[in-house]
Structure 1
């Protein structure tokens, strides 16, 4: 019997600019040797150039893959509806599982858990999955480091986010940086343009980073 593994991971959970990407890679157990030969690792451990090479090679190895794009506007709208990012991730992970699970073969689902509470998040995830009968779950922290299928998913997610960020840079300039709050270039851009571009779906308007920047900019306007 063919042993199937579905590894899932995300990229762009925390930034104030740009989308969050969820990816899933469905592989046969025997294909782990191919991923190992490629030296597939968690996306954070390889360079951009190497990620782009691995992305194409991973797509050749896996049985199938799915990518879900969650734009800043969707993150904001679900937040406004009382759905936090952790629950939104559970919904998106389940969406991929439901797409790739045909219900005819046993699949081991491996996910890099986005929540501190692994059991409660796993229980939440399972409520959103249509068919559980053929699924086995491995939900762990650092799964992107410990499991090849998850590492492969992390690379697909990261590459997709980088393409999305490149498109945003074409429109708004390289000054948007990486989109992460720890990036001084990004923070400088947010602090300057939070109001001007605030309604264009660029920023995560539900983030305190954007809200605080808007408050400061409005205060400056009042002073003048």
Structure 2
């Protein structure tokens, strides 16, 4: 059995608008694109491809918000583009986003919020930044429903990355071990070369002193001492 998740064009929705919405859905990891080609290789992970997705090696893509600050000056803000950002542009999710309360000491960017444990999330309000109708960049608090959806999408994307080998914990552990081993070997080689250079410098210094003393003896006595 298989499960296919499909983003459909709404009744009356123009093709250009649907394409824009579909692009945002893919950008937000709401609808990741996966290709499985069993003829590509004889290992499952090698047959699984995520390269059709934007920035497949990262957790989230980013978007640049162009708006104005409270003083009316133009600003640009780079924002991780999550499922919450996609949902904020969907009419059916409008009620899931609210303005921050007056006392907003516990506002947390939703990407940070998703990294918290359940205990750490208590009392915290996840928010996203959007361009408001007046062109200013505003914050909107995402509901628990949206936060849960973001968490589910993030978990799914993590799983897909592991399957495709982009973020496999075993591969990462092996890579880290090899990097540490290589770094240790490079450090040992560096120290060995430095010791050899110091010994060579000492030998050259001793030879230079001996030569200077020999010349001094010859100059003072006229006798050239035998080489030792």
Normalising by structure 1, we get a TM-score of: 0.28
Q: Which has the higher contact order (CA 8 A, sep 6+)?
A: 1
